[in-house]
Structure 1
Amino acid sequence: MKKVLLLLIIVIAISCKNEPKNEVKAVVKKVEVKKEIFPEELGQVFKAHGGIDAWRNAEILSFKKGEEVHTVDLQSRINVINAPNYAVGFDGKEVWLDETEKGTFKGNPAFYHNLFFYFYAMPFVLADDGISYEKIDPLTFDGVVYPGYKMSFKANIGSSPDDNYKLYFNPETHQMEWLAYTATFMSKKPSDKFNIIKYDKWNDVNGLILPSEITWYKKDENGVPTEPARPATVFTDAAISKNDLTESFFSKPVK
């Protein structure tokens, strides 16, 4: 009996040894890291304003310009401007306008709905996809020499692909201080006429350094800024927040 039992134990042991083992395969999850293509100097500018990673991870940006409340989904760029007598926005498919009384909104909704978002979100919007960069001659103002870059859009990028921008930054702090730009939305033709804005007052918005006011300047015959062209445009109540908004927030109100 003992011999039979011993033989049975040996057979079971051999059988278990010969059974195929279940292999556990490690699942390697690939994480795609966005490769930045802007120049290193511009990377220092973005860093001085809170960092490009912080900007790319931000979800909802809101700020006030006068009585207008601008709200932008930074991931999709859908947006809405709410004012006492009108609202204008982009829902991802079309630009819309809603007025309490016809004619209360002055301007072109397609042009205006994200106009001040672009001015306010400088310099970060100049890291968007489809932009080409070129080092340009510096701008000198009040004895300070500001290094600069020209940005142009690749074909069919955005609603005004012929627009060009020139960003000039402080050589010591790397903060942006001047923006020159062309406006081609209406004409749909390239232009070499640059408007220029001074950025010199900033606000810390959840770690991102964004403007609290900007000032359009007059220029001399060489394109060098001389004096303010009009009072500063002031931005208040800025915030970066998580996206807990419904899609209807950015849609035209149903009446």
Structure 2
Amino acid sequence: MKFKFLAIASLVLITISCKENTKETKVEIEETIEEQIVEIKEVNPFTASIEKAHNKEAFNNAQAISYDFSVSFGGNNRLTAKITQLTDFSKIRIDKKTWTSIIYDGNEVFVNSRNDDYKGARFDIFTWPYFISLPYKLNDNGTQWSNEKKNKWGDAQFDSAKLSFDSGIGDTPDDWYVVYKNPETNVLEGAAYIVSFGKDLEKAESDPHAIKYSNFVEVNGVPFATKWTFHNWNEKDGYTDQIGEATIENIEFITVKDDVFKKSSISQVIENPNK
């Protein structure tokens, strides 16, 4: 939505009287016409209702959150760690139980180790923190919404809409999500998604998955799902067979110093494989 603000030109006549000279001098000052066009992103009712249900204002008013996180697929643990992230998603830190730290400082992703060739670092640092932040990132710059309709989610019909991204947004702008909200509570209870990280779009779209949120708890008035399950997905049936699960514990809103996200002398940068 565009709003125009116009500064109207005016002519101002200033009369200057000089005591030394009885002649009056008139100085004409002309103000320049300026037109400013300010872009204001319009929030659609679908996402606005989710943000309200998840108390986005309270979430954004906090500086950072931390939580204990564990995720497994096929019975094998992928990651157990403490995660600290700024609520605006601009900086993230993952402290693994193996004592390796993965950090995103707003510009680069790096691992604070020279011995751990951790190829999944970029995926981990942008995926799990994104899933916990999803209700608050629905109207980020570069987000596009389409195809709003009812879709099957378990035994119910939930409101859903497709989220995609402008070119150049994040590591994987070709990713998309189908977001599901409970029509009675407006809580975001799940999302279908593809993972194009390290692969082409055709391959990613041939294997879509879904995350299902449950066991919600409130922390300072903000609801968080403490159990996530991962499933195969198709548009007709919604989520199907479970393939993984994650648990979130000890969620806290905290204040952190900037040096939490700084490199160490042994840090190695992890580049984006999609570029």
- Per the TM superposition, whether the score is higher than 0.5 is yes
What one-letter code is carried by the residue in structure 2 that aligns with 1:138? Answer: K
Partner of 2:13: none
Q: 1:112 to 1:220 in 2, by over 3 A?
A: closer
SS in 1 for 2:47: helix
Determine the C-alpha separation between the residues in 1 that align with 2:240 and 2:137.
26
Post-superposition Cα deviations, 1:96-141, rounded to whole Å, max 9, x if no partner, equal 11238435xx542222222100111122122222101113332224
What one-letter code is carried by the residue in structure 2 that aligns with 1:179? Answer: A
Q: Which moved more, 1:216-225 or 1:38-47?
A: 216-225
**Largest Rg, 1 or 2:** 1
What one-letter code is carried by the residue in structure 1 that aligns with 2:265? Answer: V
* Partner of residue 233 from structure 1, selected from 246, 251, 259: 246
Partner of 1:202: 216
Asked if 1:99 corresponds to 2:95, the answer is: no
Contact 2:154 2:239 in 1 (8 A): no
Partner of 2:158: 146
Structure 1 residue 239: deviation in Å? 1.2
Partner of 1:77: 90
Matched ranges for 1:1-255 at <5 A? 35-50=40-55, 52-66=56-70, 67-75=80-88, 77-84=90-97, 85-99=99-113, 101-103=115-117, 106-189=118-201, 191=205, 193-219=207-233, 222-230=236-244, 232-242=245-255, 245-254=256-265
Partner of 2:29: none
Q: Runs of 5+ in structure 2 lacking a partner?
A: 1-38, 71-79, 267-275
Percent identity at matched positions? 23
Contact 2:62 2:87 in 1 (8 A): yes
What one-letter code is carried by the residue in structure 1 that aligns with 2:227? Answer: E
Determine the C-alpha separation between the residues in 2 that align with 1:128 and 1:147.
20
Q: 1:55 to 1:37 in 2, by over 3 A?
A: farther
Contact 2:177 2:193 in 1 (8 A): yes
Determine the C-alpha separation between the residues in 2 that align with 1:192 and 1:40.
31
Q: 1:189 to 1:96 in 2, by over 3 A?
A: same
Contact 1:86 1:100 in 2 (8 A): no
Post-superposition Cα deviations, 1:135-171, rounded to whole Å, max 9, x if no partner, equal 3332224431101011111111111111101111111
Structure with bigger helix share is 1
Q: 1:197 to 1:75 in 2, by over 3 A?
A: closer
Structure 1 residue 186: deviation in Å? 1.0
The two structures, once aligned, show a CA RMSD in angstroms of 2.5
Determine the C-alpha separation between the residues in 2 that align with 1:215 and 1:39.
28
Determine the C-alpha separation between the residues in 1 that align with 2:128 and 2:113.
20
Which segments of structure 1 move beyond 4 Å, counting only runs of 4 or more? none
SS in 2 for 1:168: strand
Contact 1:122 1:210 in 2 (8 A): no
Determine the C-alpha separation between the residues in 1 that align with 2:61 and 2:236.
40
TM-score after normalising by structure 1:
0.76
TM-score after normalising by structure 2:
0.71
Determine the C-alpha separation between the residues in 1 that align with 2:89 and 2:210.
28
What one-letter code is carried by the residue in structure 1 that aligns with 2:219? Answer: V
Structure 1 residue 223: deviation in Å? 4.9
Partner of 2:21: none
Structure 1 residue 36: deviation in Å? 4.9
Determine the C-alpha separation between the residues in 1 that align with 2:265 and 2:119.
22
Determine the C-alpha separation between the residues in 2 that align with 1:221 and 1:160.
22
Structure with bigger strand share is 2
Q: 1:78 to 1:220 in 2, by over 3 A?
A: closer
Query: Aligned residues, how many?
Result: 217
Q: Which moved more, 1:175-184 or 1:73-82?
A: 73-82
Q: 1:178 to 1:48 in 2, by over 3 A?
A: same
Q: 1:135 to 1:219 in 2, by over 3 A?
A: closer
